[in-house]
Amino acid sequence: MTKFLRLTTTSVLALSLAAGPVGTASMAQTVAPAPVAMQDVVINMRGADIKDVAEQVSRITGRTLVLDPQVQGQVNVVSAEPLSRNGVWELFLSVLRTSGFAAVRSGNLWRVVPQATVVQSGASETGAATSNQQIVTRLVRLRNLPSDQAVRALRPLVSSFGAIEALTEPNAVVVTDYAENIRRVQELAATLDQGGGTSFDSIALRHASATEVAASVSALLGSDAGGPRVTADERSNVLLIRGDAADLAQARSIVAALDTPGGATPVTRVVRLRNSDAESITEIVRGLLGGEPSATNPVARSLRGNTGLASLSASNRDTAAMAASALTSGAGASTAPAESGPAARPDGFTLDGVTVQASPELNAVVMRGPPATVDMLEDVISQLDLRRAQVKIEVAIVEITGELGEQIGVQLGLGGVVPDDGVIGGTGFSNAGTDLGTVLTALGYPAGRLLGAGLSLAAGSEGDFGLLLQAVGTNNAANLLSSPSITVLDNEAAEIVVGQNVPFRTGSFATDGNSTNPFTTISREDVGLTLRVVPRVHEGGVVRLEVSQEISSLVPTAIIGAADLVTNRRSLQTSALADDGETIVLGGLVTDDRQTANSQVPGLGSLPVIGNLFRSRRDSQTRRTLFIFLKPTILRDSAAVAASAQDSYDRLRSVEPVRLDPTRPEPIARDPRLQPDVDEVF
């Protein structure tokens, strides 16, 4: 896989990633060279080793990075717009944060360590942070609020790997976290430190919005007139209150009354879908709200193994995940045990104050619940209701068969002058195709069937002399081209069958002395061409294909010993990757079958010259070549679908005779010597 940095300056420069490993048993240091002379950088690294990414970032930004041995893994770093050096550094810190790592400054070096060891690794305590993603340590001084109470209030706001400690002298708290998080802690601490009273409390809300409840509590208790200080943290949906004991008790009562399911006036909204199925969307919403899939809904059963979010792009999956997180934290999500699940409805459900109902007739989803929850769900549905790509799959099965054969031999017969006298003797060979005994029997000599293989002698009257001389050469050739095609939605299964439904005998019962009802059982099976395929469109126009293809045909001549019809079968089952519009070979088989059969009368057949009268030889060679080609074409919009249909129609017209007058049919003018190119078979 190619990983590169594209530079948007007057000249384009490609920086290839180093192939060798950066990490060693100890910390690996990437010494910063002189910064690369450039202005803006477009980054596109897919499946890149994080150590290689760190090396390139060090070259661009001029920073020296030291990587902990535990820093390992692959990352995807993509920027749609050109970035400056600071933008590249900010993007790198975001990638580290997403991957569970952090960059900690130590003098002129930056140490990249796991987030769990950030506190032990130390962090910068002075100077302003250059990035919101930078790990820093700050001392937050307090004038009125005791530091131990501030720690209890602010701890829910600190990241899981961060740290917050109380100091008595001076009255302050020490916080280690990302710079953006510390600024939020400082703002809340300053707000709490201004209020009167010495008591403090933090209340996590389950149903209501912390911002709305904070406004209601402040209005009721009069924060501006010396009442308690009330602050809301939207991200964690936590209410922070500081005041005297009486104010805190009164505030808790107000919060308990407001933090109830369905506290806000419910709204009803109908979302009409353009591309998705209402039942599928309903099941996805059920999953976002924490409900169990409906056991009676076939769509739900299919979603157990394949969630609808799998078909979203990366940005849409992130949005859906954020919406699910918001719903769980404070917008009416259920936290009850699974056995108390949502009320079941046909094609819908009710869960913790939110009702979602599918309307298959209108292909719409009806929602009723708190406005904030309904707004979030509507946003998620709008991102799920995207036009899915279609894939046109064209397959070419090319089979070329050639057969050569030579047969030469002599068979002799000596018998009576009339049929009743019988055969006295002769020679017969089983490898000669048609033997002399069969010919004599067909001509009215019943004793001809007694002429077996080899030399046969018997007593008889005066004779007739018969001779069968065979010298045959065969040359058979056949070219077969089958090119089925099918169009299917992304991530859906499709099948095309072209052939016959042939009955095969599976059993029989004949009449015996005690039964007069003979019968035969048969089973019908498809004989012809069958193509089954499941395409999955990946990022960058790559299509993953799960293909099952089979060609079967009836053997035209009966095979000795076969109880019923015999079929030729060629099947293939595989998974492959192909770019949009690329032709690939799924598989093939080349067979070369050579056979030689010699028969002779022992002793007589080895005699020079005359021995040719007592032997027979048959040579055959069969060569069969089979290849299967496949070409996927992604159809993302209606214009691509129309162009594909027009192309197929033009191809259909090209193989029709030019004259349509049935009284003067003309064959298709095509030079059989011209062989198509691999891209011309489609």
Q: What single string gives the DSSP state of each residue in 535-566? A: EEE-TTSEEEEEEEEEEEEE-SSPPTT-SS--
What is the average pLDDT score of the chain?
71
Whether this model's pTM surpasses 0.85: no
- Which tokens in the block code for residue 112? 């990249």
Report if residue 510 sits inside a domain. Answer: no
Kindly report which listed range (200-204, 220-224, 285-289, 305-309) carries the lowest average pLDDT score.
305-309
- Domain shared by 51 and 139, yes or no: no
In terms of Cβ atoms closer than 10 Å to its own Cβ (0-12, 13-18, 19+), residue 240 is buried
364-368, 539-543, 669-673, range with greatest mean pLDDT: 364-368
Q: What pairs with residue 415 in β-bridges?
A: 423, 464
Q: Is 670 helix (H, G, I), strand (E, B) or coil?
A: coil
Q: What pairs with residue 269 in β-bridges?
A: 367
State pLDDT tens for residues 80-93. Answer: 677 788 888 888 88
Q: Which amino acid is at 603?
A: G
Q: Is the dihedral of CA 134, 135, 137, 141 positive or negative?
A: positive
Report if residue 545 sits inside a domain. Answer: yes
Total Cβ atoms within 10 A of residue 163: 16
Residue 322, pLDDT above cutoff 60: no
Q: How confident is the model at residue 468 (pLDDT cuts 50, 70, 90)?
A: low
The stretch 616-626 carries a mean pLDDT of 80
CB 536 within 8 Å of CB 491: yes
Report if residue 212 sits inside a domain. Answer: yes
What is the maximal distance between C-alpha atoms in the chain? 145
Q: What is the pLDDT of residue 3?
A: 39
Query: Which DSSP state fits 124?
Result: B
Q: What is the pLDDT of residue 577?
A: 92
The stretch 455-477 carries a mean pLDDT of 54
C-alpha distances in Å from residue 111, one per residue of 54, 107, 318, 666:
11, 10, 29, 80
Give the Cα separation of 196 and 228 in Å (integer).
7
- Domain shared by 487 and 407, yes or no: yes
Q: What is the pLDDT of residue 306?
A: 37
Q: What is the pLDDT of residue 397?
A: 84
Question: In which element (H, E) is residue 631 found?
Answer: strand 615-635
Total Cβ atoms within 10 A of residue 58: 20
Residue 96, pLDDT above cutoff 70: yes
Domain extent for 239 = 135-258
For position 190, which CATH number holds? 3.30.1370.120
Q: What is the pLDDT of residue 332?
A: 38
Which one, of 386, 371, 252, lies nearest residue 313 by Cα? 386
Instruction: Mark which of 345, 362, 386 sits at the end of a domain.
Output: 386
- Domain shared by 172 and 299, yes or no: no
- Domain shared by 456 and 559, yes or no: yes
- Domain shared by 471 and 565, yes or no: yes
State pLDDT tens for residues 264-305. Answer: 677 889 999 998 889 988 888 888 887 665 544 443 333 333
Report if residue 367 sits inside a domain. Answer: yes
Percent of the chain whose pLDDT exceeds 90: 7
Overall domain count for the chain: 4
Q: What is the pLDDT of residue 346?
A: 52
Q: Which amino acid is at 163?
A: A
Q: What is the pLDDT of residue 310?
A: 34
Q: How confident is the model at residue 392 (pLDDT cuts 50, 70, 90)?
A: very high
- Domain shared by 243 and 287, yes or no: no
Which one, of 217, 256, 123, lies nearest residue 179 by Cα? 123
In terms of Cβ atoms closer than 10 Å to its own Cβ (0-12, 13-18, 19+), residue 224 is exposed
Report if residue 674 sits inside a domain. Answer: no
Report if residue 666 sits inside a domain. Answer: no
- Domain shared by 200 and 279, yes or no: no
Q: What is the pLDDT of residue 162?
A: 77
Instruction: Mark which of 121, 144, 175 sits at the end of a domain.
Output: 121
- Domain shared by 190 and 311, yes or no: no
Kindly report which listed range (82-86, 154-158, 159-163, 319-323) carries the lowest average pLDDT score.
319-323
The stretch 315-331 carries a mean pLDDT of 39
- Which tokens in the block code for residue 196? 């009167």
Return the percent helix, strand and coil in the chain, to nearest 5: 30, 40, 35
Q: How confident is the model at residue 6 (pLDDT cuts 50, 70, 90)?
A: very low
Report if residue 658 sits inside a domain. Answer: no
- Domain shared by 558 and 434, yes or no: yes
Phi/psi zone of residue 380: left (φ > 0), alpha (ψ -120 to 50 degrees), beta? alpha
Residue 632, pLDDT above cutoff 90: yes
More confident residue, 473 or 554: 554
More confident residue, 243 or 174: 174
- Domain shared by 459 and 553, yes or no: yes
Instruction: Mark which of 213, 228, 258 sits at the end of a domain.
Output: 258
Report if residue 360 sits inside a domain. Answer: yes
Question: In which element (H, E) is residue 499 found?
Answer: strand 494-509
Q: How confident is the model at residue 391 (pLDDT cuts 50, 70, 90)?
A: very high
Q: What is the pLDDT of residue 273?
A: 92
Q: Is the dihedral of CA 172, 176, 179, 180 positive or negative?
A: negative
Percent of the chain whose pLDDT exceeds 70: 63
- Domain shared by 464 and 546, yes or no: yes
The stretch 38-65 carries a mean pLDDT of 80
Q: At what angle do helices 245-258 and 210-221 cross, to 10 degrees?
A: 130
- Domain shared by 367 and 446, yes or no: no
Kindly report which listed range (153-157, 278-282, 530-534) carries the lowest average pLDDT score.
153-157
Q: What is the pLDDT of residue 335?
A: 35
Q: What is the pLDDT of residue 311?
A: 36
- Which contacts (CB < 8 Å, 24+ apart) does range 569-572 have? 570/399, 570/626, 572/547, 572/548, 572/628
